[in-house]
Each structure stands twice: as structure tokens, then as C-alpha cells.
Chains A and B, each alone.
Chain A
Amino acid sequence: MRRLISACLSVGRKYELYSMDWDLKEELRDCLVAAAPYGGPIALLRNPWRKEKAASVRPVLEIYSASGLPLASLLWKSGPAVSLGWSAEEELLCVQEDGVVLVYGLHGDFRRHFSMGNEVLQNRVLDARIFHTEFGSGVAILTGAHRFTLSANVGDLKLRRMPEVPGLQSAPSCWTALCQDRVAHILLAVGPDLYLLDHAACSAVTPPGLAPGVSSFLQMAVSFTYRHLALFTDTGYIWMGTASLKEKLCEFNCNIRAPPKQMVWCSRPRSKERAVVVAWERRLMVVGDAPESIQFVLDEDSYLVPELDGVRIFSRSTHEFLHEVPVASEEIFKIASMAPGALLLEAQKEYEKESQKADEYLREIQELGQLTQAVQQCIEAAGHEHRPDMQKSLLRAASFGKCFLDRFPPDSFVRMCQDLRVLNAIRDYYIGIPLTYSQYPQASCKDIYSQLVLRRLYPLAIQICEYLRLPEVQGVSRILAHWACYKVQQKDVSDEDVARAINQKLGDTPGVSYSDIAARAYGCGRTELAIKLLEYEPRSGEQVPLLLKMKRSKLALSKAIESGDTDLVFTVLLHLKNELNRGDFFMTLRNQPMALSLYRQFCKHQELETRGPGCWSGSFSGHLGLLFAAHPRIEGRVAALQTAADAFYKAKNEFAAKATEDQMRLLRLQRRLEDELGGRFVDLSLHDTVTTLVLGGHSKRAEQLARDFRIPDKRLWWLKLTALADLEDWEELEKFSKSKKSPIGYLPFVEICMKQHNKYEAKKYASRVGPEQKVKALLLVGDVAQAADVAIEHRNEAELTLVLSHCTGATDAATADKIQRTRAQAQKK
């Protein structure tokens, strides 16, 4: 490690991340270069068009990890590319000259493309920038007509053409995209003037406190968080201030008039220090709020990548990180530092040497009461170290110091150890994600998995999840699901094998949705695989919609039926109904009785008014016809009944057909009765019709109807009996009773007379009641004495008891006596 200490400039340090052994054939300067932030991958498009070379050689697009491991290499077959950039999701955006943006995945897989509009197409692209906003990643384009077009989020493409800059004849000397208050702006320099473009207007701006004599701006840089802006002028003067151009922070004069190749900010969040790194061909200069600058000599072509807390610098052979030294590290490692952390580190070292100096150092810290602070410093400094041995010694010191503290909450130490393990794991050369500790929380755990998943490093991602003890559903399951989604894209493996492999690995892991994986497989055009995968999906509710989408409606139907979820069956049914023609639809239903019965039920509710019963076969059609028979008009009803009857005949349901025909006959008859006699007959049942006729005094007609419809005698007698009693037409009733022998006996006559409280009439019939029911009849009319006589005559014990229970009061005392005597006699015998 090289420590750069300058009396005036705050400490800055540079350390090597990786030594690169990528096999670059070209110089970096001959390539279009793009590196993603947060230790992301590097894309190189060799052989760009700006160099006049043999057109026959196709350029090659190569993607490397930050450690220089090749991830992808593909022959560039499209038009000339102007600019490359990485989106926040680590997708490579390649802006072509004609304004078409091609989107590639991390592994060089083509994802999609989109155009930046007609205007861009006509005027060609002069220059393009990819920038990051809160919403995602944006593209800004400078066209040949010196107009700007930008889109703030390529995920949700909305093109915005920026207003014209007045009097702009040539390309601006430099420009950049700014993002402030959630709005993207363009800042450009034309000669000595600066203009700020938002989507409404173009306004000239001047940075406050800019040194005079500037005739042109050569380079400008915006900080990672869009908070600061640096301008490099043709006088070799650097202005640094806020991006809003309201405040100047500092200025520096480097006296180099050559235009720098790159200029980027190098500062860490929440730090007061501001520094800008400027790179020329062979020189690197770090300038800040100090009269002196730090200079490095660049041995070879290098490229700067701005990061949240520093700058990554990579060249053919190395990959380095330059950053401002964190306070904790500075305190500890400053030469002859007396900071508590530094003392603690010393103490621990002495302790390992078994020297008593350890105690002295410790005492010194404790006397100042700074042990807690010392431990905290060591923990924090460990986080900022890149090398594991340094991390270890600092953590060991912290752990040592902790022993002498009564109450030190352990979580910060534990968390740091955990975080460092994760960070070290992903910084590994073979993984190649050189994330720093400051970037780590920014990137958040979730993003680390997704970065690993994007790099197809599933095992490591799973290990990390398990190490951090993340709940399965949040961690491992999701990674497995991603793995499965990747797996289904391997077209060279057979469907069977893929499905089996996925099932073996995933099993019943909670939170993994087989239907999602199947959806991905379907997206890749592997329908058969998708169906196989769906077999593993336990939730039918997820299976069925996808099957429908894949147009496997019949399979969906049987799955839905298997699930027993009627609601799902309905979903499929309604879908099928729209998809198939009627014939096919019914053919499909024919084999699925449950679906058929559901559809019938649905039709009953739903389609009564729209569709006739014609589409059904068999009895059900007849039943529907009967339902239709609630038609308001008689003719409609008769017609509906006729359809029903026909259907019943077809279904060989003779009984129902006959009944339906009878009803038609009855309806017509009722209609005629209404016409002739007045009153209401329609809608009455046969029984009620006859009753109404009897009540209306149309006995003849009633008889006729009874004969026509073959009403059984018993029913007719009951009917007439009730009706006549209701009318209290006793004369007619008596006549009726004598018309022939009653098929229902005479007890009902007695009962009904008593119900109307006509004892006189009741007695008439009581005498005619058959011997079996005589006692009952006599009791009904209240003739207890005679009932007793009959009962005695019958010698029927049950009857005797019945009579006895009716003997009340003094009047019946004699009768009761008589019965008791008879009983006694019977017993004697």
C-alpha cells in the first residue's frame, strides 16, 4: 500500500485491486470503453469506426469482469457504435450512429433494442452519454444538428427533445447530463458560454467566481451523486462548485493547457474534502481545495471509472482504486499517530509479542477514557481495508480492546465481520466485484445477490444467503428460481432433463414458483418444457392461467377440474367459450361432466335471456325449456313447453314429456276458461283449477276436467269435499256423499264438518263411517256413550282406552264406569 501524504491536501490513497491479465490486443485508447459503477463489468468495443481502418475487419465487443476475466466476446454485426454504457441493472447499452440503442446482457446475450426517434435517425448521432438517475438509467444524445434528445429511463422509454441552443453552429466543446430535483438537464459549453437545457428552455449560466480570460471549456465532470461540478478551461484552470452553479467550492490552476482525456470527481459521501482527478495521456493529477496537487505518472493507457467513494483506474496491466482516506484509517495509520485506535492496534501487536508494553498502551487509552472509541475506530478502519490481513489485524485489535470493556454492544463488530466476509468473497479474483465498504450498504444485500445472479454465480449467492441467515423465501429460494430461469434457456438440453434437474434442485423449496419458471420457459419458446414444469406446480391457481396463455385450454380444463376449484373451472370455461366455436366447445365439455354441469348452472343464471335451450341435448334441454315457460305470454309459454316436450321425447324421458304435454293442454284449457268464465285460471295447478271450478259452482266442468286429465277418484273426492265444506254447501255435500260409495271413507266428512263446527251435519256422516273408524268418528261428534258401546262391542283395548281418555266430568261418569266394568270382565275371562 502506498500512502500519499501531503501537507496541504487531505490524504488520498491508491491501492491495487487486481492485476489484470486480460489479453488486450489493442490499446485502450482505440476502444470504446464502458465500465459499470459499483465494481461492475467492463465493456470494450474494439476497432471503432473513428479510426480509418480496413472495413473488412469486423469489430469485436468484449465484456470483462472488473478483474479482467472475459465474460463474453461477440462479433459486432450492427452499424457503427458511438457510445457504450451500463444501465443500473447491468445491461450494456450500445448507442449506434443511427440512434438505435442495442441492449445486451452481462454475458453478451442480446436483449432488445429501441430507437431514439426519427430526428436522431436523420441527423445521426454525434455523441451520447449514458447516465444514472433515481428512476434507472438514461440516455442523452447529441445529434448532428446539434440538438439534444434524452430519455431519463430506458426501461420506460419516453423521448424528450431538448430545446435549441440559440446560435449553436458547431458541436459544443464539452457537455454532460445533470440530474437535479428528479429532472434531467443538459449542461453544455460553447466557447466561453455555458448553457443549461431543461425540457422547457435553454438558459445561459455563469459559474460564480470563475477566473476571467476563459475562452473555452475543455472538459466538465459531475460528481457521482450529481451534487458537484468541475470545469476545466483552456487556460488550465479548474473550477469546482455545486452542480446548481450557485456556489463555488474552490479553484485550481494546473497550468496544463492540453485538454485532459478524462476528468472525474473523487470524494466520498458526507466528506468535506472535494477532489477531482484529471487524466491526460501519461499524467494523473488529483486536485482539491489546496494549493498543491498530487501527481502520478501513468505508465500506460488508463481509464477512470467514477465510483461513489473514489475512482477506479484500470489499464492493460492493473486495476487500481484511488480514494480519499477515511478518517478512521487516517487516525490509525498516520505516522506517529496517538489516536486511540492507533494505540489499541499497537497494544494488540505488543500483546501478541507477549510484551508488557501492551499493558502500557492500554492504560494510556483507558486513562483517557477512549477505549470504546478505540474499538470503534478499529472496527471502522477494518471495513475500509482492502487486504484481508490488514482487516484481520484491525479486527483482532478491536476484539482485544473489547475484552476490557464492560458493556460494548457486540453487533457492530459482528456485523463488520459478516460484511467483510461477504465483501472479501465477492472481491475474489474469480468473482471480480471490487465493492468497497462504503458502496456496500448503498448496493444493499439484495443487489449483491442480483449482481451475483446476473453473473450466474448461483452457488456463491446461495452460500452468502445461508451465511447471512436470510430467510429462505427471501434469499435461497429466489436465487434458485433465477437459476431455474437460466436453466430453461439452455436450449441444447432436452426438456426432460431440464425439468428433472430443476425439480431435483428445487424440490419443494418454499417461495419458489414453478409457474414463474414455466412462464420463462414459455417466453423462450419451450412450451413443452413449460408444461412439464407446471406439473410440479402445486397451486392449480397458478398453473391454469399460464396453460391458458399457452393455448393449452383443454389441459387447463382438466387441471382446473382436478384441482376441484370451481372458480378455476369457470375461468377456463369462459375462456374456452370465447376461444372455441360452439361445436368444439360442447365437444370439449362432453368429456368433462363436472365442467358440463357447471356450465349448465352458469347458463341457468346467465344466459337464460340470451340463448335458447337449443344448444343442449337431452333432458337438460327440456328442463331449461320448463324454465323458459315462465314466459309472460301464453303463446311463448306453449312454445317453450313444446320445445321442452320435444327434448324430453328425444331423451326418452316419456314421463316428463307426457307431463309437459298435459301442461300445454291445461294451459290452453285454462285460457279458454278465463275467456268463458272470467276469473284467473292460468298458472293454477290442475288440482287448483278443478277446485276453483267447484268453488265457482261449475260442477259439470269440474267433472269434465277431472275425466279429461284422469284425476283419480280419491283426489276428486278430497277435493270436492274440501271445496264444498269451504262453501258450506251442506246440501250439495250430502248429495255428493250419496252419489256413490266414498273411496276415502266417511270419516273425513265428519272431520271436515266438525272443522266448520257443524255438529248436525257431522252426525249424519258419523253413522256411515265404517266400523274400523266408527269410534273415532263418534268421539269427534262428541257422542261418548255411543262410542263406548261400539268399543265394547269391538272388544278393542286401544279403542276403550281412547274413549276413556275422552270421558271428562260427571256427565260421562256412567260411561267410564261401564268401560271399567267391561275391562274387568275381560280380564276375568
Chain B
Amino acid sequence: MAFPHRPDAPELPDFSMLKRLARDQLIYLLEQLPGKKDLFIEADLMSPLDRIANVSILKQHEVDKLYKVENKPALSSNEQLCFLVRPRIKNMRYVASLVNADKLAGRTRKYKVIFSPQKFHACEMVLEEEGVFGDVSCDEWAFSLLPLDVDLLSMELPEFFRDYFLEGDQRWINTVAQALHLLSTLYGPFPNCYGIGRCSKMSYELWRKLEEEEDGETKGRRPEIGHIFLLDRDVDFVTALCSQVVYEGLVDDTFRIKCGSVDFGPEVTSSDRSLKVLLNAEDKVFSEIRNEHFSNVFGFLSQKARNLQAQYDRRRGMDIKQMKNFVSQELKGLKQEHRLLSVHIGACESIMKKKTKQDFQELIKTEHALLEGFNIRESTSYIEEHIDRQVSPIESLRLMCLLSITENGLIPKDYRSLKTQYLQSYGPEHLLTFSNLRRAGLLTEQAPGDTLTAVESKVSKLVTDKAAGKITDAFSSLAKKSNFRALSKKLNLIPRVDGEYDLKVPRDMAYVFSGAYVPLSCRLIEQVLERRSWQGLDEVVRLLNCGELAFTDMTKEDKASSESLRLILVVFLGGCTFSEISALRFLGREKGYRFIFLTTAVTNSARLMEAMSEVKA
């Protein structure tokens, strides 16, 4: 059932080197402050740090106690304090308050702040303003790439999305360029580069500049990875906003995968403890089902359980020697598999309980309707009902955004009424949320002023509500075709299905959305790789509003081996979803490629929406 890789699929480069590099650098920084010290870690850095260096390594380098950076006075009595933080103003205030409290109490201690992945001037400014700049020493831990899996590198910068796409803050671009530079020094230059989006272009240019400054090092190295594809999240919001139905995506949507591991609560483990499970290719069971459509997973798991039972059963009728062999060699593996199987069956049950209800079916139905662009009026009232019933603030926002993007903005009347409804349900502070969504282009209003709208409003006064809706639909479809609709037609994103879509043996990438929609981002990558450039996709690029922002850069040298030319690094700036990863893995299997994913963070629709909402502090 799980698809094996094609026999000629290229080997992936070994990314564990990145971990070692980060660990060594951290140890070096810790050793810069000799003697016992307490380490304060920012909550967001805890999980990534855990993947790099565990507590015993930290203890080896004289870290005494570990604290979380939070807004509480520290109880540490150590003479040396070390802070491991992201470069945020909030954190600087925290450090400054600690130092100033010590000063008041007449204590002198040593303070060291380690910024990851880099130091920002604004942070030093804050320290200076607080009058503690001289008391604190600053360092950088250039830890920007965490290998979450054999083919997935994450920068673990969820704030990238909000900072860049909402606030227009370009500070992380430098970090991205540095990370790419690191990759090219370790794994050789990339002979073919493609990209789309403003951020991609800027990162790419900055990266090139870095390479030029330090030229000579990568020259002459054989490239290990043949292609790199950079993609901005705002090129394709639609895919990220859809509900995920591939197993890994569903687990992420339901339980939230954090830094490659997930906390399964008591309802999954069917005990009173929750269990932290690392989800990657090493988990034999998981690696077989992660890319599967959820409808197949349960069948697969039960088959697996039966196989396991059969293997257990073999021991009957064994003689002593065979039994000894069995116990010493196979039993451990079987037990391990057994444990994993029970975890995933538990997770499946839990997901089933939540998702097989009618609500979810309707939700998916509405989503598909939005993607395909029919029954807009019905979908709009569904969303309205969704808001009225206070089902979930994040879900409602998501549906509104999906509606807006697929329709090129909401009709002014709908825009106002949905907003009013939403504010009534969840409070007026969400005015800010709406302003954010508007700025990011996620939820917009169709420009009024079309003559048609005027006619339409006159007509709609004369007829009943329902009829008016229908008329509006007709008018808006006349007025202009949304870009998404045109793109979907151009790139054939909505596959034509004759009969049932066979989710067990998928034909195309649409299977990650139950056969209803091929992820736009993945389709773009597929098309560009096929053509080896953006040539012939001019119309698509124009529709994406990226006229100037699509680029191709190929080096003429033919040093790249055919093996490396089938390795593709896809860089998602602003995050990617597990569905996209699954879809590209599928594409790779079909075409004999292997994809490597680099993302600023793994994201999903809920995370995107949360990044946009303004919650009262």
C-alpha cells in the first residue's frame, strides 16, 4: 500500500551534519562563559534545542539549572546567567529587568545573551536604553536549520510569516540567505535555481551576494542537489488554507505537531498519561501511512495488526533454538512496532471521532465548492451560520479567507455583514484582525464601482433574499473572473473526475485533498521543473501578480551528475503544510525525483490564521 520509492530514486544528502554543526557552536558559546551557569531558554527555542542538545550535554558544559524565559522574576542564585533567546524586544526587556533588579539589590553577576539565529540591532538598542548594555555580553548562535526529518529542514521561525507578509519586516531575509549559503557551502552549489515571489527574489539576491563575497569556497565543488526552488507563501494561500486529509496533515491539524514531535493526550494513548511521539521516517509505521489519504489509513493499520499477530503466532511450533533466535532478534522489533501501531490506531480513532461527524463532511463539502467555484451563495450562508453558531473563530476566519481568495475578494455587502457577524460573535478587537487580513491580502473587499454592482443592488431590492443572492452570483461571475479561477483553469487544478476518485491508487497530487484540488504551489513546481524555466508560464505568473518576481538562474557547467539533478530543494518562505509535502513526495515518486523541503516553519491553516489574529494581551 505504501508507495516504495522508484529504484532509481537518488539518495538524500546527510543532513545530520547540520545538527552537529549547531551543537558544536552552542557548546563553544557555552564554554565562552566558563564555570557554572544557569541557562534561561525562550519557550519557542526549547523544542528545537531539544533536538540539538539534550540536558545531559548541557550539563556537561556546566549548565546548572534550566529556566524558561517568562514574565516572572528569576529565582536563580547562580553567579552566571546565560540567556538563549530569539532576538525580540520583549526578551530584551526581560533580561534588562533582571539585570536592573540585581543592580538594585547590589548584586553583580555575569550575564550573557545568546541570540538565535542572529542578533538584531534593535535588541541592543533596547538594552542600551535600559542602561544595561555594558553589563551584558551578546553572542549569536547561527542555528537556522533544524533537520526535522530526512527530507525536511525547518528554520523554526513561525513568526516569519507574520513579520514578512503582514508587517513587511524584512529582517529574516538575511537569515534565510545565510541558511542557503550554509547549505551551499556544505552540499555544493545549486546549478539550477527557480523562484517566485518578492521575498524569494530578495533572499535569492542576498544569498548570491553572500556567495560572491566569500567566493572560491564553493567553486569547483560538485553539486549534490541539482535544483532549488524558492516559493513565497503568498503565491499560494489557498492550499495552506484547506483542511488537510492526509494522515500527517490531519495529525498536525488535530494534535499540532511541534518541531517534529506530537503530544498524544490520554484520549489517544488510552491511559492516563500523555505520550510524546517523534514523527519521522524512523517510525516504521508512521512512515508508511504519513502520506496516505486518511480513508486508507485505518484499513492499512488493521492489515498491519493482522500481520503483526501472524508474526507473533509463528513462535508456536518453534523449537527451543528457533525460539531463542526469535526472542533475541525479532521480538524487540515486533514489540516496538506493536507499540507504534497502538499509538497510531489510537490517534486514528481520536481523529475519526472528531472528523467523521456530519459537521466535518459539510465543511469539506463547502471547501470543495469554494475551490470549484459553484454555489457561492450557499457557501457564504454556510460560513455565516458557522460564525453565528460560534463553531470556531479560527475556522470561520479560514473559510472567509478561502472565500475571499477564490473569489478575488468578497462582495462589499457580504464583506460588511460577515465582519459584523464575526465581531458580534468574538468581540470588537477582531477589527484589528480584519485589518491585518486585509493588509496581507487574505480577506479583501471587491472594489465597488462596477456598473453591474449598481444595477445589482437595485435589482436585489426588488426581490427576495434568496433570489437576490442568485442574482449577485450571476452578476459577479459576469463582472470578472477571479485570478484563482483563471489559474485553476490554466493549470488544471481541479481534476475532472469520471466516477469515483480512487484514493487508494492516486493518479495525481489532488489525492491530498480527496481528489478535489491539486495544490497550486506543487503544480507550479511541477510545471517549472518540467520546462526547466518559467518559459510558457507567463500568463500564470501574471495571474499570480508576480510579473517581475519569477526568476530562473542556470549555470552552464555540466558538472552536476544525473543523480543530483533529480534532487530538488524546495524552499517555502512563510511555511509549508504537510499536505504540500505529501503531494510533492508523491510527485517525486511518479517522476523519479526526490524533494527536500526547507521551510521557515511547518504551518497549517490554523497557524496562519492565528498569526493574523490580534488577541487581547
Binding site for B on A (CB under 8 A): 510, 538, 564-568, 570-571, 574, 594, 597-598, 601-602, 605-606, 619, 623, 626-627, 629-630, 655-656, 659-660, 662-663, 683-687, 709, 711-712, 714-715, 718-719, 722, 744
Kindly state the separation between the CA atoms of A715 and B422 in the bound complex, as whole angstroms: 11
A662-B427 Cα distance, complex, nearest whole Å:
11
The answer to whether A598 touches B125 (Cβ under 8 A) is no
Knowing A565-B170, A597-B167, A619-B435, say if A714 contacts B388 (CB, 8 Å): yes
How far does the Cβ of A769 sit from chain B's closest Cβ, in whole Å? 15
Q: Are B424 and A686 interface neighbours, CB within 8 A?
A: yes
> Within the complex, which residue of B167, B421, B424, B428 is in contact with A626, where a contact is CB–CB below 8 Å?
B428
Assess the A627–B424 pair: CB atoms within 8 A: no
| Contact A630-B616, Cβ < 8 Å, known A655-B419, A660-B431, A718-B388 | yes
Query: Does the CB pair A685–B431 fall under 8 Å?
Result: no
The CA-CA distance from A443 to B167 in the complex, in Å, is 57
A597 to B425, CA, bound (A): 30
- Are A566 and B171 closer than 8 Å at their CB atoms? yes
Q: Which residue of B lies closest to A711 (CB)?
A: B424
- For B424, give its contact among A598, A606, A709 (CB under 8 Å): A709
19 further interface pairs, Cβ-Cβ under 8 Å (given A565-B174, A660-B428, A722-B389): A565-B170, A566-B170, A567-B121, A567-B122, A567-B171, A571-B122, A594-B168, A597-B167, A598-B168, A605-B89, A606-B126, A619-B435, A659-B431, A685-B427, A687-B426, A712-B388, A714-B388, A715-B421, A718-B389
Chosen A-B contacts, 11 in total, with CB atoms closer than 8 Å, are A564-B206, A565-B174, A601-B167, A623-B432, A626-B428, A655-B419, A659-B431, A662-B428, A685-B427, A687-B426, A714-B385
- Do A685 and B206 have beta carbons less than 8 Å apart? no
The answer on a CB contact under 8 Å between B125 and A685 is no
Complex Cα spacing A574 to B431, Å: 29
Q: Nearest 6 CB-CB pairs, A to B? A: A566-B171, A663-B428, A685-B427, A715-B388, A570-B122, A686-B424
- List B contacts of A619 (CB < 8 A): 435
Chain B residues with CB under 8 Å of A605's CB are: 89-90
**A718 engages B428 (CB within 8 Å):** no
The answer to whether B424 touches A715, judged by C-beta atoms less than 8 angstroms apart, is: yes
Interface pair A574/B421, CB less than 8 Å apart? no
The one of A602, A659, A744 in contact with B428, judged by C-beta atoms closer than 8 angstroms, is A659
Instruction: Flag if B432 contacts A627 (CB, 8 Å).
Output: yes
* Chain A residues whose CB sits within 8 angstroms of the CB of B219 once the complex forms: none
Contact of A598 (CB < 8 Å), options: B169, B419, B429: B169
Which residue of B202, B419, B424, B431 is within 8 Å of A564 (Cβ)? B202
8 Å CB contact of A597 from B168, B420, B423, B432 = B168
Chain B residues near A510: list those with CB within 8 A. 213
- Tell me the minimal C-beta distance from B560 to chain A in angstroms: 27
C-alpha spacing A339/B59, complex, angstroms:
67
Return chain B residues, CB-CB under 8 Å to A601.
167, 169
Q: Judge whether A565 and B428 touch: CB under 8 Å.
A: no
CA distance A829 to B427 in the complex (A): 58
Complex Cα–Cα for A495 and B424 (A): 65
- B interface residues (Cβ-Cβ under 8 A, vs A): 89-90, 120-122, 125-126, 167-171, 173-174, 202, 206, 209, 213, 384-385, 388-390, 416, 419-421, 423-429, 431-432, 435, 614, 616-617
Which of B121, B426, B435 is packed against the most chain A CB atoms within 10 Å? B121
In angstroms, how far is the closest chain A Cβ from the Cβ of B127? 13
B17 to chain A, nearest CB (A): 28
In the complex, chain A residues whose CB is within 8 Å of the CB of B431: 623, 626, 656, 659-660
Chain B residues with CB under 8 Å of A656's CB are 431, 435
Residue of B nearest to A717 (CB): B388
Residue with the highest number of chain A CB atoms closer than 10 Å, among B125, B388, B431: B431
Contact A718 B173 (CB under 8 A): no
Q: Give CA–CA (A601, B614) in the complex, Å.
A: 13
A714 to B465, CA, bound (A): 14
User: B180 to nearest A CB, angstroms?
Assistant: 15
Contacting residues, chain B, for A687 (C-beta < 8 A):
390, 424-426
B171 / chain A contacts, CB cutoff of 8 Å:
565-567
Are the C-beta atoms of A623 and B435 separated by less than 8 Å? yes
Residues of A within 8 A of B421 (CB): 712, 715
Chain A hits for B614, CB < 8 A: 627
Could you tell me if B120 and A567 are in contact, using CB atoms closer than 8 angstroms? yes
Measured CB to CB, the closest approach of chain B to A715, in angstroms, equals 4
Give A679 to B426 CA distance when docked, in angstroms: 19
Cβ–Cβ contact B385 & A718, under 8 A: yes
Bound complex: CA of A744 vs CA of B427, how far in Å?
24
Docked Cα-Cα span, A621 to B113, in Å, equals 34
Kindly list chain A residues whose C-beta atoms are within 8 Å of the C-beta of B168: 594, 597-598
A685 and B424 contacting across the interface, CB-CB below 8 Å: yes
Q: How far is the CB of B470 from chain A (nearest CB, A)?
A: 17
Pairwise interchain contact B167-A598, C-beta atoms closer than 8 A: yes
Could you tell me the distance in whole angstroms from the C-beta of A4 to the nearest C-beta in chain B?
55
Chain B proximity of A113: nearest CB distance (Å) = 33
B225–chain A nearest beta-carbon distance, Å? 26
Provide the residues of chain A in CB contact with B385, threshold 8 Å.
Answer: 714, 718, 744
Closest to B167 in A: A601
Question: With A and B bound together, what is the CA distance between A683 and B617 in angstroms?
Answer: 13
Interchain nearest-CB distance for A469 vs B (Å): 16
